[in-house]
Amino acid sequence: MPAQLVYITAALIFLDLFPMPDGYHTILTIMAGGTFAWSTYVNSLKKIPLLVLVYALFTILYNPVMEIELNRQLWIFADLAAGTLLLATKDHILH
């Protein structure tokens, strides 16, 4: 995965902290869900179980097929954690 996609996904996640138009969350879940799913796969190949678990949890959270309903405060926390995780562990994602 190119580093630019990691940065774009993190930026989209951080933008979700602000009020966004209808449909933005759908685009975000597609992009973030795909990025986290790929990250789960890459880290499973590298045999890093802690990152596999964390990425898998965020893959489920940002799943675009079956969306999880959270209140706004929990989404803010999840967005901060997800964006920070992507930026902090980007070297583990790049294949």
95 falls in which pLDDT band (50, 70, 90)? low
Please state at what angle helix 3-15 crosses helix 72-88, rounded to 10 degrees.
160
**Cβ neighbours, 10 Å, residue 16:** 22
Residue range 35-87, pLDDT digits in tens: 999 999 999 999 999 999 999 999 999 999 998 989 999 999 999 999 999 99
Overall number of domains in the chain? 1
C-alpha dihedral sign at 10, 82, 40, 21: negative
Quote the domain boundaries for residue 80.
3-93
Within 13 Å and on the Cβ side, how many CA atoms surround 57?
Answer: 10
For the segment 21-39, what is each residue's pLDDT rounded down to a tens digit?
989 999 999 999 999 999 9
Q: Tell me, what's the pLDDT at 60?
A: 96
